[in-house]
Amino acid sequence: MTIKQRYEGIISVFKEIMPEPKTELHYDTPFHLLLAVILSAQCTDKRINMVTPALFERFPDPESLAAASEEEVFEYIKSVTFPNNKTRHLIKAARVLTDEFGGEMPTDIDNLMKLPGVGRKTANVMLSVVWNKAAMAVDTHVFRVSNRLGLTNNSKTPLETEKTLVKYIPEDLISTAHHWLILHGRYVCKARKPECLECRLTQYCKMYNKKS
């Protein structure tokens, strides 16, 4: 099977089983999505969705969060992973948005990555989800699933994975494929116990066919 055939087969199955995949993080504005994505690092979307409604209501815009104290913000997010660091990142990101960008969310990766707490993955999530740009955010799920399926050739870094995926996935499907791979990794191709018997991609999966 060629790499082109593998990509085409996997994409065709994803189109059938997940025609309209979406982020599972709840948000109402780009600013609030940014907060949710920063908070979601090494934490579950379910937990983030539990804490963000009150956070969003209290801080509707960057200006309100930029003026907040760490003590106040911490109380809203203390049940997530690494709440102290994330508290600082949220406030600092809001201050940079307010001071350097006039409260407006940047729409390019370089300026997004100027925000504290925002790395390449988070920036790509914003570009993909909010503006439907051809950006591939590589988290642990995308990294794992891509290697297992054989979409990448044992990539060693998230950036290497990102470049390979963007090379082979049609540009108009990249933002959608981001969700396909995350959701597949979250619910089927799990880290410890992949549910291969429930998977519709086994005929294309490099790991599965190596084992069988």
Catalytic residue among 139, 172, 206, 211: 139
What is the Cα gyration radius of the chain? 18
- The DSSP result for 158-204, as a single string, is HHHHHHHHHHHS-GGGHHHHHHHHHHHHHHTS-SSS--GGG-S-TTT
Catalytic residue among 45, 99, 121, 133: 121
92 is catalytic: no
46 is catalytic: no
Q: Calculate the alpha carbon distances from 34 to 101, 104, 120, 157, 169 in Å.
A: 15, 12, 13, 23, 25
Tokens 């979409």 correspond to what residue? 151
Which residues are catalytic, by number? 121, 139
